[in-house]
């Protein structure tokens, strides 16, 4: 479905699912320890603002990512709001078992598109990660929990440079063979550009039209929202961002914050694309983030706010 609203000449969807990954991807690289209570309050605030999918935490080794050591406590403490999907990241079968025990609604599993980065990320080859992904998918399916595939560094790798499209498409084919129906392309270091995003999304949609495609946005080089626009005009209807624009990957040099969720929501709603999110409530949640992380954040909505509506026209008497 395309919208009659929006920018002339652009085909825009009527609706986009905006996923907030702040509690996981946003916080995982922060130096200041964030308490479980702070994470729970953040997740609950996002749900109340109308975010319909939240990446709440990750079930990874506490040694690898100490900030996520309280994953089970966080999942036990959040308010389960009706209509909200609580996703978690898992790297392996052990992580899946912990996630299922904690009541995860969706399991995100990352395979990085390049050998060097995948080794840095999970200490496995890409082939080993794909085999693990297949096992995780089968076990999660048995438990009745959907798996969402995430292809990390789908555009540019911090170690190997630009990733050839055919290399990405080959991995998408392997994902598709597992029977998954949802795939996220991650611009992990924020190095993609809009034309690159549009080309890859178009190629995947042409070959695997049944896959629901999403884009994980970073704003390292200032192109997060531009890439979001390129993605939705190419047919993507799910975008991942982070409240306040916080984030980064501990295993990827130069990976700074995600695109800001509130900035993304403002752009989409201004173009007539429905998100179901209260921008005012979301900004209120974002206002708590600098105190949580202990430093300023990149959100434009926090710095300037949305533009004021035009005053009503004066009528002559």
Supply the pLDDT for residue 249.
Answer: 72
Catalytic residue among 46, 71, 204, 249: 249
pLDDT digits (tens, 9 = 90+) for 160-206: 999 999 999 999 999 999 999 999 999 999 999 999 999 999 999 99
pLDDT digits (tens, 9 = 90+) for 76-98: 999 999 999 999 999 999 999 99
Mean pLDDT computed over 224-230:
98
157 assigned to active site: no
pLDDT for 6 beyond 60: no
Q: Return the percentage of the chain with pLDDT > 90, whole number.
A: 88
Q: Return the percentage of the chain with pLDDT > 70, whole number.
A: 95
Domains of the chain in sequence order = 17-303 (3.20.20.70)
Q: Which of 127-141, 169-183, 252-266, 269-283 has the lowest mean pLDDT?
A: 252-266
pLDDT for 70 beyond 60: yes
Beta bridge partners of 242: 260
pTM of structure: 0.94
Supply the pLDDT for residue 309.
Answer: 78
At 114, is the pLDDT very low, low, confident or very high (cuts 50, 70, 90)?
Answer: very high
Supply the pLDDT for residue 254.
Answer: 65
């Amino acid at each position: 479905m395309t919208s009659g609203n929006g920018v002339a000449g652009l085909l825009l969807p009527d609706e986009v699912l905006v996923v907030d990954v702040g509690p996981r991807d946003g916080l995982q690289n922060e130096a200041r320890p964030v308490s479980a209570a702070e994470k729970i309050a953040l997740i609950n605030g996002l749900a109340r603002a109308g975010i319909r999918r939240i990446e709440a935490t990750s079930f990874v080794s506490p040694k690898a990512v100490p900030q996520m050591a309280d994953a089970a406590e966080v999942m036990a403490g959040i308010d389960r709001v009706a209509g909200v999907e609580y996703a978690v990241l898992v790297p392996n079968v052990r992580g899946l078992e912990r996630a299922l025990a904690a009541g995860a609604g969706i399991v995100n599993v990352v395979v990085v598109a390049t050998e060097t980065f995948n080794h840095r990320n999970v200490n496995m080859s890409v082939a080993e990660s794909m085999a693990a992904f297949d096992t995780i998918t089968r076990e999660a399916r048995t438990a009745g929990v959907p798996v969402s595939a995430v292809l990390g560094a789908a555009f540019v790798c911090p170690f190997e440079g630009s990733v050839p499209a055919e290399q990405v498409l080959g991995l998408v084919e392997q994902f598709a063979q597992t029977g998954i129906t949802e795939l996220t392309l991650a611009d992990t270091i924020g190095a993609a550009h809009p034309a690159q995003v549009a080309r890859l999304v178009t190629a995947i949609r042409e070959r695997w039209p049944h896959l629901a495609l999403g884009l994980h946005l970073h704003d390292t080089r200032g192109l997060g929202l531009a890439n979001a626009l390129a993605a939705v005009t190419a047919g993507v209807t799910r975008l991942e961002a982070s409240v306040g624009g916080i984030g980064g990957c501990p295993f990827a040099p130069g990976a700074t914050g995600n695109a800001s969720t509130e900035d993304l929501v403002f752009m989409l709603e201004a173009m007539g694309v429905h998100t179901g999110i209260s921008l005012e409530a979301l900004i209120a949640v974002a206002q708590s983030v600098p105190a949580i992380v202990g430093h300023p954040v990149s959100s434009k909505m926090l710095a300037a706010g949305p533009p004021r509506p035009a005053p009503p026209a004066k009528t002559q008497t």
